[in-house]
Structure 1
């Protein structure tokens, strides 16, 4: 049974990186691992879904509290989390994976010490090219596209507010009736 740390800047709504983090946590817990999740903000229904998995939490917006200081694996998104955990809280892991989910968002920029991490993931070839431009060796970057299961499509739709009667949405557009 491995001790695994996951991080995401926020875990307060059903959105892209939040869902990716949840799916990873769910798989790891179901595989028998002990999972800790670190974030600056959590709440809402997605927090309840994480809690139902039995994960432990690190609140990055609070002063450091006694927690596990070494993990078998740290897999995270958002460089702010890496700085807070690895530098600010002096946590360590046998393997450290940074996963960038966009070439455009500042939080997705790898930390300055990314070349010392075990591995860097990019969600697309475009993201990989941007990361390579930061001087990170191409051999340490793997393209791993974002994915979520069909379960989340219906899960998310159940929680969306009802659309106003004057609007009809389709998979590709929103248009007036």
Structure 2
């Protein structure tokens, strides 16, 4: 039974600039809802063109900044069936008129302040389900005072699941020849270990690591099909698990290394983040990547057979949707609404000021790069011939295309 056909869903996200964890979760939810026939309204404080292209390529998906006047018009076109809330971003219309909408609050981290409730009374009143990526995250939120009055049955682990398209088990390779590193923050010891691998092992890096040769974009099933093994943490571990690709779980928090039956439970508890395990030296990492690869392939086959069903998005979202109910309580406190909206406005300003600074910094970098290239060009001309003989050409090149003052 399709629970989503014809439904209107609001899906919120703090920002959509980087190809990182929460952005990817939001995209994959929008994709899932779209595939199953829902109309999806994505609301965010700010977005970049790359993510805008990704979302708008999906059927029946629209993206709005929370401040966009057209958002109000869109929400007034008809009732919203489900509001899936990330980073406490709730459109004003839904705060003031929540009746008939089922609210799902999804807290994707216990480390980031933006993942905690702005107003616990609002979440307490609206929530039909409150989700976390791992038990560690749930425990951290539940230990604080903000959610202590909520019924325990509302809190659940979603598990950071992978879309069905990743569910393509790959035959293991007899030797490590292709290594895929997925990270936005490669620690030095991992970079040194990868550099020390024997010649003949091809390495690809996905992530915001341009200085190390990385490419920033979404991870695809084709990436996993190419790789003999993956080095990563977080969501990419689930991709690897359902694809039956051995995964070396390690990044800036440290990590257990190759996942196996012995370390799987504690790694899973911490959302495969690497927390709870020691850091390793570059020598140790390089040695384990090469000399324990065969054992890792056997371990992954066993792990996939036992656990992959726990990490498939279709199954996990189905469980959530069957349990949510529409809000039918009294109106929210006007004071709580105004306080929440004020905090949202502050986050909007902060997000877009930071984005503006990043753009300005990028533009400045390009200008500096162009200036350096021009200086090097002039220097080469001067070195080729005596300066006096080249002065007319230098002046012409230096000021070509500029209007006189």
TM-score in terms of structure 2 length: 0.37
> Between Structure 1 and Structure 2, how many residues are aligned?
166
Change (3 A) 1:102 1:48: same
Q: CA deviation at 1:173?
A: 6.1
Which residue does the alignment assign to 1:167? Answer: none
Q: CA deviation at 1:124?
A: 1.6
- Say whether residues 1:100 and 2:102 are aligned partners: no
- Whether the 8 Å contact between 2:55 and 2:62 is mirrored in structure 1 is no
- Say whether residues 1:5 and 2:10 are aligned partners: yes
Once residues 65 and 53 of structure 1 are traced to their aligned partners in structure 2, the CA distance between those partners, rounded to angstroms, is 22
- Say whether residues 1:86 and 2:94 are aligned partners: yes
Structure having the higher strand fraction is 1
Q: CA deviation at 1:91?
A: 5.3
**Which piece of structure 1 moves more, 21-30 or 50-59?**
50-59
Once residues 102 and 36 of structure 2 are traced to their aligned partners in structure 1, the CA distance between those partners, rounded to angstroms, is 18
Which residue does the alignment assign to 1:146? Answer: 160
Question: Superposition pairs for residues 26-175 of structure 1, below 5 Å?
Answer: 26-54=31-59, 55-62=61-68, 65-69=72-76, 70-79=79-88, 81-82=89-90, 84=92, 86-87=94-95, 90=96, 92=98, 93-110=100-117, 111-112=119-120, 113-116=122-125, 117-132=127-142, 133=144, 134=146, 135=148, 136-149=150-163, 150=166, 157=206, 161=210, 163=212, 171=231, 172=250
Higher Rg of the two aligned structures: 2
CA RMSD in angstroms, aligned pairs only: 3.0
**Which piece of structure 1 moves more, 23-32 or 68-77?**
68-77
- Whether the 8 Å contact between 1:20 and 1:148 is mirrored in structure 2 is no
Which stretches in structure 2 are left out of the alignment for 5+ residues?
A: 1-5, 168-181, 183-204, 214-229, 232-249, 253-281, 283-405
1:20 aligned counterpart, secondary structure: helix
1:71 aligned counterpart, secondary structure: coil
Change (3 A) 1:32 1:173: closer
Once residues 84 and 159 of structure 1 are traced to their aligned partners in structure 2, the CA distance between those partners, rounded to angstroms, is 34
- Whether the 8 Å contact between 1:19 and 1:148 is mirrored in structure 2 is no
TM-score in terms of structure 1 length: 0.78
For CA contacts below 8 A with separation 6 or more, give which structure has more relative contact order: 1
